[in-house]
Amino acid sequence: MVSTFAPQAAGDLNFLKKLNRSSILGTVRRYPGATRADIAAHTQLTKATVGGVVQALLERGWLREGELQPRGGGRPGRALYLDDAHHVLLGADIGVRGLRVVACTLGGEVLLQRYVTEAPTTPEETATRLAEMLRVLRDDPVIVDRHCLGLGVTVPGPVAPEQPILRLAPNLGWIDVAFLEVLRPHLPDLDGAWLLDNEANAAAFGEFYFHDGIPPESIVYISAGSGIGSGLVTGDNYPLVPRGIQGLVGEIGHTIVQPGGLYCHCGNRGCAETLVSGWAIRAALGIADTEDLEAAIAARGDDPDVNAVLRRAGEALGTLMLNLHHTLNPAMLVLGGSLMHLGERLIAPALAYFEAHQNDLLRGTQRVPVKVIHDSTFTAARGAAAQVMAKAALEA
């Protein structure tokens, strides 16, 4: 489960400095308006150390000073915030049914976004198209003068844990694509970190990293779209994204929840993806791949068949949530993906099932909160941008 941001095994003084700088930056990210004194208390570093590092981060445009924070009967501290004016993070999402790009501030605010609803064909053509979109973004007056910290790209399939290679995207027909290498010639001037990750991993990372308020201890993001997958993020200052030995962590679409059930395209039977996924719902309702799923379902109105299919899919989603709860046990579950557009007929049964059963094992303990992102169009792209920032923060 090596992570992109795994802590090193051993280190020198420079490593220690990076660690502390990243820790201080992470504290401000999670506690906007924190003062130097707050940071020192939180990180266990001394005021002197914090003061010096903060000074350097102010000069480099990573932090900015804000108003005075009154303290009870003492000198007020100076509030610190992430500097939203000098840097920009780029994120791109290659989805089965479209391409999305975003430009973000260090605080996760989306400055610019673009979306085209064309299905990707070959990696080369996709790279051409994506590069166009990114160039338009890069040249936009809103961000043209900012320093770009890098680009994160997400893909709908598992990525090898050690190298940025998409292993398999069944819904794109791509196998073993080193997409960053395909894209790089199209954007020779785009410097900074270049990252490639699975779409659900990136989305999970973004929800965690740019969480409003103090982030939960760990998050699992469930991405229900054409297929279904999930991403896990955990850690304090250094969010970890476990990928597993083959990048298959969170490939819940192919966990078996109905032995002897329907055949899945993976060759197995009873995979979760045969119950809750875009193509499973299309198959069950006879909706062609060319049609827009949301529109087709809306057109059928209050059809009992539709209701039954959505309810069963929702219950399967609830089962998956419960299984994730008992396997990864995250502090928060986030539901996203295009299937969320299908609304309460799918979402309500999922939540109801999970709510009813999550505490069967440990009675009386805290409930695991579930957040539903009804429109997650740019969630993965923004998450990819978050990963760029986390990477760059270590080098700041």
- The footprint of DNA (CB under 7 A) covers 12-14, 16-17, 20, 35-38, 44-49, 51-55, 68, 70-78
Q: How far apart are CA 280 and CA 283, in angstroms?
A: 5
Per-residue binder mask for its own copies (CB under 8 A), 169-208, x = binder: ----------------------------------------
Picked from its own copies, DNA, none, the partner binding residue 343 (CB below 5 to 8 A depending on kind) is none
Instruction: Report phi then psi at 74, rounded to 5.
Output: -145, 180
Instruction: Report phi then psi at 238, rounded to 5.
Output: -120, 85
Regarding 250 and contact with its own copies (CB under 8 A), the answer is yes
Nearer to DNA, 40 or 92 (CB): 40
Q: Of the listed pieces 129-137, 190-198, 318-326, 344-352, which binds its own copies according to CB under 8 A?
A: 318-326
Picked from DNA, its own copies, none, the partner binding residue 75 (CB below 5 to 8 A depending on kind) is DNA
Smallest separation, CB 122 to its own copies (Å):
21
CB-CB contact of 96 with 199 (8 Å): no
Picked from DNA, its own copies, none, the partner binding residue 9 (CB below 5 to 8 A depending on kind) is its own copies
Picked from DNA, its own copies, none, the partner binding residue 74 (CB below 5 to 8 A depending on kind) is DNA
Regarding 391 and contact with its own copies (CB under 8 A), the answer is no
Indicate which single residue of 258, 348, 371, 373 sits in contact with its own copies (rule: CB under 8 A): 258
Indicate which single residue of 118, 217, 291, 344 sits in contact with its own copies (rule: CB under 8 A): 217
Picked from DNA, its own copies, none, the partner binding residue 28 (CB below 5 to 8 A depending on kind) is none
Indicate which single residue of 133, 256, 352, 394 sits in contact with its own copies (rule: CB under 8 A): 256
Look at residues 46, 53, 47 and name the one whose alpha carbon lies nearest to residue 24. 53
Picked from DNA, its own copies, none, the partner binding residue 361 (CB below 5 to 8 A depending on kind) is its own copies
Give the strand pairing for 147-155 and 87-95: parallel
Beta strands in the chain (DSSP E): 63-71, 74-82, 87-95, 98-104, 110-116, 147-155, 166-169, 174-177, 193-198, 218-224, 228-234, 332-336, 370-372
DSSP state of 105: -
Query: 55 CB contacts (<8 Å, ≥6 apart)?
Result: none
Q: How far apart are CA 305 and CA 7, in angstroms?
A: 51
Q: Which two tokens stand for residue 317?
A: 């989603």
DSSP state of 256: B
Regarding 325 and contact with its own copies (CB under 8 A), the answer is yes
